[in-house]
Structure 1
C-alpha cells in the first residue's frame, strides 16, 4: 500500500528528475566546451611558440660575418707571401668559427661558450692587424655560466671593427667587459676607433642589421627586460652596451 509520504516523495522525484537531468546535461556540455577551449588554447600557444622559435632561428642565420671577405683576402695574402704557419692558424680558427655558427641551434648558451667562439673571430683579426690591435678582456672568472643569446658578443665586436676600428690609422684598441648584479648581466664592447653615432640614432631604423638583429632576438627572448644601446666616447670611439636578465 502506497502511503502519503511515499506518494509525495515519488511526485517530488518525478518533478525534480528533469531539472536534475537538465542541470547535469548543461554541466557536461559546459565541461566539454571548456575542454575544447583549453585544447584550442594549448594548440595556439604551441603554434605561437613554434613561430617564435622559427623566427628566432631565422634571425640567427641572418648573421653573416663581414670579416669573411677580409679573411679570404688575408688567406690569399698569406699564401702569396708563403707564411704557412699563419695561414694554417687562420684556416683553423675560421673552420672552428664556421662550425660553431652553422651547427648551433640553441636559443641561449653559456657566456663562456660565446666568449670562446668570439675569440676565433678575434684571433683572425689579430693576425690581420698585427701589433696595431690590442684586445683587453675584462670578464673576470665568475658568472660565465650565465646564458646569453648566441653570436651577441661576436656581432658587437664585428660591428666595432666594421664601423669604427678598420677606418682608423694607427693603434686600435678593443675592450670586452662582462659584469653582473643581482638581476641583470651587462656586456660592453668598447673601441677607440673613429665611428660616429648619428644624432637621434635609433637601433630599429639603423642601416646595419647587426644591432637590429640583437634587438629583435632580445624582444623575442626577454620582451622589455633587455636593452641595447650605443654611446659615443668623448675621446673617440664607441661603447656598445647590452643588458639582459640573468638566466643560468
Structure 2
C-alpha cells in the first residue's frame, strides 16, 4: 500500500515532469535559434568580407592600367626622340618592374617592396627628364617590413608627374618620406608644384579617393587618412595608416 508521503511525491512529479519537459524543449529551441543566428551572422560577415575584398581588388586594378599606360608613354617619348641608349635602359628597367609586380599577387606588400617598385619607376622617369628631375627617398629602418596597400606611394608619385612635371617646364623636385609615428605609418610625398601649377584638382581627387577607399577596406575599423596640402612652396600629400608587420 502506497503511503501518503509517496503518493504526494508521485503527484508532484507528475505535475513537474511536463513543466520540466516544456522548459527543456524551450531551452533547446532558444539554444538552436541562437546557434542559427550565430551561423547566419558568420555567413553575413564572410559575405561582407568577400564583397570588400572584391571591391578592394577592383580598386587595385583601376590603378595598375593607368600606371602601365603612363610608363609606356614615357618609354615611347624616348623612342620618338631617338634616344636609343636611354630607351634600351628604360625597357630593361621596365621589364624588371613588371617581373617584380607579377611575382606576387597579394592584397598587401611591404613598404620595402613598394619603395623598390617606385625606384624602378623613377629610374625610367629620370632617363626621360634627365637633369630636370631631382628626387629623394627617405624611410625609417623599422618601417621597411611594415605592410602597405600596393600602389599607394606609387599613385602619389605618379600624380606628381602627371599633374605637374609633365605640364610645366623647369626643375622638378620630388621627395618621398616614410616614417613610423607611434603605432601608425606616415607616408609623405612632396613635389615642387605650387598652387598655381596644379589645375587638375578633379583628377587628383579621384586618385586620392581611390587610395582612401582601399585604406578603409584593408584596415577596416582602424584609423586611416589621406590629405592634400597645397602651398606656395609645393604640393604635399600625407597618408596615415596603422603600423602592421608580417609577423
Superposition TM-score, scaled by structure 1 size? 0.88
Contact 2:90–2:124, Cα closer than 8 Å, also in 1: yes
Contact 1:168–1:194, Cα closer than 8 Å, also in 2: no
Secondary structure at 2:150 match in 1: coil
Secondary structure at 1:168 match in 2: coil
Aligned residues: 239
Q: Does 1:191 align with 2:191?
A: yes
Q: Which residue of 1 aligns with 2:226?
A: 228
Deviation string for 1:20-70 (max 9, x for gaps)?
A: 010011111111111111111110000000000111001000012152342
Q: Could you say if the C-alpha distance between residues 102 and 59 of structure 1 is closer, same or farther in structure 2, counting changes exceeding 3 Å?
A: farther
Q: Which residue of 2 aligns with 1:15?
A: 15
Aligned-partner Cα distance in 2 for 1:70–1:99: 19
Contact 1:197–1:231, Cα closer than 8 Å, also in 2: no
Q: Could you say if the C-alpha distance between residues 10 and 140 of structure 1 is closer, same or farther in structure 2, counting changes exceeding 3 Å?
A: closer
Aligned-partner Cα distance in 1 for 2:189–2:3: 95
Which residue of 74, 79, 86 maps to 1:76? 79
Secondary structure at 2:232 match in 1: coil
Deviation string for 1:115-165 (max 9, x for gaps)?
A: 001111111001101111111112243321111111001100000111112
Aligned-partner Cα distance in 1 for 2:73–2:42: 48
Question: What is the 5 A alignment of 1:47-62?
Answer: 47-62=47-62
Could you say what the CA RMSD is over the residues aligned between the two structures, in angstroms? 2.2
Q: Could you say if the C-alpha distance between residues 198 and 123 of structure 1 is closer, same or farther in structure 2, counting changes exceeding 3 Å?
A: closer
Unmatched 5+ residue regions in structure 1? none
Deviates more, 1:15-24 or 1:94-103: 94-103
Cα distance, 1:224 vs. partner?
6.5
Aligned-partner Cα distance in 2 for 1:51–1:190: 34
Q: Which residue of 1 aligns with 2:157?
A: 157
Q: Which residue of 1 aligns with 2:203?
A: 207
Aligned-partner Cα distance in 2 for 1:95–1:71: 14
Aligned-partner Cα distance in 2 for 1:238–1:101: 28
Contact 1:165–1:194, Cα closer than 8 Å, also in 2: no
Q: Could you say if the C-alpha distance between residues 196 and 147 of structure 1 is closer, same or farther in structure 2, counting changes exceeding 3 Å?
A: farther
Q: Could you say if the C-alpha distance between residues 37 and 238 of structure 1 is closer, same or farther in structure 2, counting changes exceeding 3 Å?
A: same
Contact 2:75–2:91, Cα closer than 8 Å, also in 1: no
Aligned-partner Cα distance in 2 for 1:56–1:133: 33
Q: Which residue of 2 aligns with 1:246?
A: 243
Q: Could you say if the C-alpha distance between residues 21 and 140 of structure 1 is closer, same or farther in structure 2, counting changes exceeding 3 Å?
A: closer
Q: Which residue of 2 aligns with 1:180?
A: 180
Aligned-partner Cα distance in 1 for 2:54–2:36: 27
Cα distance, 1:74 vs. partner?
3.4
Secondary structure at 1:219 match in 2: helix
